[in-house]
Structure 1
Amino acid sequence: MTIHDGTIYDVAVLSDEMKIQNYRHRLNSMNNLSDIAQALGAERTRTELIPFLTENTHDDEEEVLLRMIEQLGLFIPYVGGIEHASVLLPPLEYFCTTEETCVRDKAIEILCKIGSQMSQSDMIESFFPMLERLADGEWFTDRISTCGLIHIAYRHAPEPVKNELRTLYRQLCHDDESLVREAAAINLEKFAATIERPYLSNDIMSMIKDLTKDDQYSVRSFAVKSCANLRKLLEPSVFVQELLPIIVESAQDEVWPVRCMVADQLLELCDAVGPELTRTVIVKAYVHLVRDKVVEVRKTGAGKVTNFCQRLSPEISFQHILPCVKALSSDSSHYVRAAVSSDIVGLAPILGKDATIEHLLPVFHSLLKDSSSEVRWNITSKLDQINQEIGIELLSQTLLADIVELTAVRHSWRIRHAIIEFIPIMASHLGVGIYNDVLGVLCIQWLKDKVCAVREAAVQNLKRLAEMFGQEWASAHIIPQVLNVVNDKYSLYRMNVLDALLNLAPVMGSEITCSQILPVTLAASKDRSYVAKVLKSLASVVDQSAVEKSIRPCLYELKADSDPEVVYFAKEALQEIDQVKDQRGLGSLCWNWKYQVIGQN
């Protein structure tokens, strides 16, 4: 079969697959579009494949359509280069008219990508007429797509056409359909970025003012976001005089999504207006928003408290923001408390040690006792940051009782996990006494936690403590406690204890491993397959005599077990032990040879 025949066959198969009811077959055909186009060649792709796809854009499955659009975005090389890219516009134009938002947005994205590469002549010949058809379309979806494409056309348009495009965008901002006006508000920043500076203060400013006064709250909300983003394009004085009053007024809008959008944009506003206006204007707006009657607005403001205070002096933060933080920490909504608890620790270095101790520690104390596990975890996961600011001694004096109480099983396992991660830090500063008096029992209890992640963290915690305080201390305080739970009735707990002993062995050294850890491991007959795994690793810790005297005979016994799994792991352990033995022997021979050569020299 020739290549020509093969390409005909490919198109025929594609046509058949597009008619199959099973959408997975149609999706697979879209995945092969690039291969088919490459086989067809540029000319036949332009004259056959693209028209075929244009006629078959009516699939009812979004996933199939999205895949087709993505493939079309890669087709510029397959149609002969950017000079022929205009042939890709018809199928994408159809997708711009569909009601499915994700399909329409993807088509707009690909058209912007293609249009940004086209020459001015090609834009005038094909892209502008497409834009006009969409702008004059009967359905609101056409005009929504126009809002997302017009900035690409404006870049390449001659001056008379630019005047028409600015007029067109102004019309879109006053469209009868609120969804079109919403799209105009969303895309206003992109359009403004292409506008010449003389037109910014007239055309764009007029549009943004109209949109922020729109009857539809969603339009006003996106207009507020565009206001904040326009700070990059306008002179600071123009932004402060023209747009800042609009945004501040929107902070008291009667509809909460608009106020929520203002709260979301406050940090950008601070950077735009500078410290003076932030202190005199933005702070008042922020305080008003975090005291809003709607949960979503308070939550948005609460999650930005640290970044907001970083743009203020400590005095202003202490005077105006700290009272709000205290109120937010006891808010009736746990969503608000969760937002402030995830961010409040960052206030400590801003306020300083004394203010943190006097004002933030009581807040931490209340949040650690919060009814929401998310709130409690947000604080416990940042104990290290609190420690860096106030010191471990004060932290243990004020919050240790709360921390220990949070280790109870009724609390979220993530809280226990966070506390386990913090214990080595606490112990390194407070010494062995904190383990012996308070945390020792807990560290052992966590080896039998119901959550696997907690048990694994508990094993690593014991290893770090042993490394920190040394073999002698670990032999007296950790090893005996671990051995007490090695015969638990639950197999998962027993295996976790064996895992703890395995991790402790390299720290304890050969002598303690042989005298305390190895005998217990050899006696763990209930978990034979896991014992084989542990013995394989312990063989690298103990000396060769212990391997030959104790480990190898036990593995031979396990090798004869009736359980195939035990046999498998025993054989694997014996093979690895033999390899280690051979390597040790080779190393000894090399050393003897080197010694003899040096002696001869």
Structure 2
Amino acid sequence: MAFVAYSAYGGDTAMNPEMTENTLYPIAVLIDELKHDDLSLRLNAIRRLSTIAQALGPERTRSELIPFLDESIEDEDEILLAIAEELGDFVEYVGGPEQAHVLLRPLENLASVEETVVRDKAVASINKVSEGLTETALETYFVPMLKRLHGADWFTSRSSAACLFAVAYPRVSAALQEEMRQAYGQLCQDTTPMVRRAAATRLSEFVKVLQPEHVVSVAIPYFNYLSVDDQDSVRLLTVESLMTIAKALTTEEVGQYLVESFRSLCMDKSWRVRYMVAEKFVELTKVMAPHMSKEEVITIFTNLIKDVEAEVRTAICSQIPGFGELVGRDDVLEKIYPCLKELVSDPSQPVRSAFASHISGLASLFGKEATHQYLLPLFLRLLKDDFPEVRLNIISKLDKVNGVIGIELLSEQLLPAIMELAEDKQWRVRLAIIEYIPLLATQLGRDFFDEQLTHLCMSWLGDRVYSIREAATHNLKNLTDVFGVDWAKATIIPKILGLSNHPNYLYRMTTIFALTTIAPSVTPEVIQSSILPTLEGLVTDEIPNIRFNVAKSLQVLAPIMKQSTELQPLLESQVMPMLTKLSQDPDQDVQFYAQCATQAIQA
């Protein structure tokens, strides 16, 4: 085959000096690479298909490259996946939407292979290519392809066919639409579970493009087939379809056709189906509630809370705040709260963790008194849970409770537990407490904070975990923003400076980090009187890591000092002498960072 272009892979670039590597190269080389034993080389060749297509031009791409790829389907899954992905973006290389139908044949073959990820990518590319096809092209090329896939003997083709109806249905003739509706119904009753699964998965998409008059006559029978399927992997997929169909029906039609199915799914013998219902319970209930008594809905909800499977109980926990809003505070307290108390001591840690994440959402519904009476005892028990994730989740949502009951009650009831968690052995729990401190400080006020929490905030600077020490320095900056520079000068800066003489080098390192982090929030006077002298004292520290962090700190401080007329002279009189000394340090890392800081200041 004649050369179409050249590259570093084998073409004579000397014949055209303007060509560069990764531009155009021989299609013969592509053939060789696709037949190579090295998988990475074959993958690289596939990724260059667009380059080849540009070189060939649309006509030769259609007549040579696409047929060649179609013949190359017998390959490893990674190669087939790459081809399926590339062809989805190939419309412009074959001549635009008018010629895009030539891509359907290789993609049809890819949609029939055994590997699921390859079929899924091929289906996605078919749908992408088909969006640009004209109605004539759809009926001439796409629909026959769909019929071939639908009527194929092997289940893989029929599974792919189920994913292609929605994109074409709105743009074909009424006669073809009738055929497509019947064909989809056949897939819903296919003898192979995998095909029925594909039909159930895509039923929502198909319902959205059906005409209103066909939703009742077509979609509901399809749904009914699938919702009573003997495979739970099929039934669980109908939960999403139930919601889509309900939105397409009138309120009366929902009551007539769907409520009984909803009841059945809620009590399905498979926990996986009940799990899917639990995940979307509030959304489903809003649609079904007009046709069911409140007592029945609450009974179904409490049954899911008491479900024998922990996965179901975990899923329903996320629905607690929304369901509470739906039925009202009185019914929650009378009929649901006893079940909620059991979740606090649930034997499954994921259940307790999910409950801790969502129970605070009831605070706004309960109000101040009921939250104090009913929810705070649950919070206290969760804060003492053995698993750190449970404690973490309840801490991260306390701001919702604070907004309802106020900081006075919150600090009175929960502050002791929070103080205990601040020294938790799990560092992520301590980190969550640190992140909550600025909000707590805003609510507590300066005097209360100084009395109860300042010592705790300073103790985190010496934590054995670096992430905690780093978070602690940012916490001090945030507290300075909350309480002001005068508070920082009187309360925390002296304690930070005291760490600069600590015998443990980690404390001295933390001093540098804390002063650097807090610098943007303080006045020039603090930088001049406290921060610069402390850094100057650490220039001669015996630990090289301390010295090069001084240089990095000075580089951060330089822009702040340049913006202040009061501090600008100190760049030459204090900062540059420190950097000059550090640039002559025997340690190469110290020299490097000192030179970087010097260049940044002089820039």
Asked if Structure 1 and Structure 2 have the same fold, meaning a TM-score greater than 0.5 normalized by the shorter chain, the answer is: yes
Residue equivalent to 1:398: 413
Which amino acid in 1 is paired with 2:135?
A: Q
Partner Cα distance (1:127, 1:554) in 2: 74
* 8 Å contact kept, 1:266–1:282: no
Residue equivalent to 1:201: 216
Residue equivalent to 1:496: 510
Larger mean CA deviation between 18-27 and 51-60 belongs to 18-27
Which amino acid in 1 is paired with 2:288?
A: V
* 8 Å contact kept, 2:500–2:511: yes
Larger mean CA deviation between 67-76 and 253-262 belongs to 67-76
Partner Cα distance (2:481, 2:25) in 1: 69
Offset at residue 333 of structure 1 (A): 0.5
Larger mean CA deviation between 273-282 and 562-571 belongs to 273-282
Question: 1:177-225, CA deviations, whole angstroms, 9 ceiling, x for partnerless residues?
Answer: 1111111211222222333333322232222112211111111111233
1:30-109 mapped onto 2 (5 Å cutoff): 30-62=46-78, 64-109=79-124
Residue equivalent to 2:547: 528
Larger mean CA deviation between 414-423 and 150-159 belongs to 150-159
Question: 1:353-398, CA deviations, whole angstroms, 9 ceiling, x for partnerless residues?
Answer: 1111111111111111111111111111223222212111111100
Q: Secondary structure at the match of 2:479?
A: helix
* 8 Å contact kept, 1:270–1:278: no
Cα distance, 1:254–1:537 mapped onto 2, change above 3 Å: closer
From 481, 497, 520, the counterpart of 2:495:
481
Q: Secondary structure at the match of 2:236?
A: helix
Q: Secondary structure at the match of 2:163?
A: helix
Residue equivalent to 2:43: 27
Partner Cα distance (1:325, 1:73) in 2: 50
Question: 1:293-319, CA deviations, whole angstroms, 9 ceiling, x for partnerless residues?
Answer: 101111110122112223332323333
Residue equivalent to 2:12: none
From 535, 554, 560, the counterpart of 2:584:
560
Normalised by the length of structure 1, the TM-score is 0.88
Cα distance, 1:371–1:275 mapped onto 2, change above 3 Å: farther
Question: 1:495-543, CA deviations, whole angstroms, 9 ceiling, x for partnerless residues?
Answer: 1212213344565545555554444332222322222333455672775
* 8 Å contact kept, 2:516–2:556: yes
Q: For structure 2, which runs of at least 5 residues remain unmatched after alignment?
A: 7-22
1:390-469 mapped onto 2 (5 Å cutoff): 390-411=405-426, 413-469=427-483
Residue equivalent to 1:12: 28
* 8 Å contact kept, 1:181–1:219: yes
> Cα RMSD (Å) of the superposition?
2.7
* 8 Å contact kept, 2:460–2:469: yes
Partner Cα distance (2:582, 2:232) in 1: 74
Larger mean CA deviation between 90-99 and 555-564 belongs to 555-564
Q: Secondary structure at the match of 1:391?
A: helix
The alignment status of 1:379 with 2:394, answered yes or no, reads yes
Cα distance, 1:514–1:136 mapped onto 2, change above 3 Å: closer
Which amino acid in 2 is paired with 1:145?
A: S
Number of equivalent positions: 576
Offset at residue 460 of structure 1 (A): 2.2
Q: Secondary structure at the match of 2:385?
A: coil
Cα distance, 1:172–1:466 mapped onto 2, change above 3 Å: closer
Offset at residue 566 of structure 1 (A): 2.6
Which amino acid in 2 is paired with 1:348?
A: A
Partner Cα distance (2:74, 2:453) in 1: 66
Partner Cα distance (2:169, 2:358) in 1: 43
Cα distance, 1:228–1:553 mapped onto 2, change above 3 Å: closer
Which amino acid in 2 is paired with 1:528?
A: R
Question: 1:156-176, CA deviations, whole angstroms, 9 ceiling, x for partnerless residues?
Answer: 443333333322222222211
Which amino acid in 2 is paired with 1:48?
A: E
* 8 Å contact kept, 2:25–2:52: no
Q: Secondary structure at the match of 2:162?
A: helix
Partner Cα distance (2:145, 2:600) in 1: 71
Q: Secondary structure at the match of 1:141?
A: helix
Question: 1:421-470, CA deviations, whole angstroms, 9 ceiling, x for partnerless residues?
Answer: 22233233333333333222221111122333321221122233344444
Identity, % of aligned positions: 41
* 8 Å contact kept, 1:116–1:152: yes
Offset at residue 578 of structure 1 (A): 6.3
From 246, 258, 265, the counterpart of 1:243:
258
The alignment status of 1:180 with 2:199, answered yes or no, reads no
* 8 Å contact kept, 1:314–1:350: yes
Cα distance, 1:531–1:132 mapped onto 2, change above 3 Å: closer
Which amino acid in 1 is paired with 2:437?
A: I
Partner Cα distance (1:90, 1:544) in 2: 71
* 8 Å contact kept, 2:321–2:362: yes
The alignment status of 1:359 with 2:374, answered yes or no, reads yes
Cα distance, 1:464–1:80 mapped onto 2, change above 3 Å: closer
Offset at residue 337 of structure 1 (A): 0.9
Cα distance, 1:508–1:264 mapped onto 2, change above 3 Å: closer
Partner Cα distance (2:535, 2:57) in 1: 69
* 8 Å contact kept, 1:275–1:311: no
Cα distance, 1:382–1:192 mapped onto 2, change above 3 Å: closer
* 8 Å contact kept, 2:215–2:245: no
Partner Cα distance (1:283, 1:296) in 2: 20
Normalised by the length of structure 2, the TM-score is 0.88
Q: Secondary structure at the match of 1:311?
A: helix
Which amino acid in 2 is paired with 1:447?
A: L
Larger mean CA deviation between 391-400 and 32-41 belongs to 32-41
Residue equivalent to 1:591: none
Partner Cα distance (1:224, 1:148) in 2: 18
Cα distance, 1:114–1:507 mapped onto 2, change above 3 Å: closer
Partner Cα distance (2:459, 2:320) in 1: 38
From 215, 235, 238, the counterpart of 1:220:
235
Offset at residue 65 of structure 1 (A): 2.0
Larger mean CA deviation between 560-569 and 269-278 belongs to 269-278
The alignment status of 1:310 with 2:325, answered yes or no, reads yes
* 8 Å contact kept, 1:37–1:45: yes
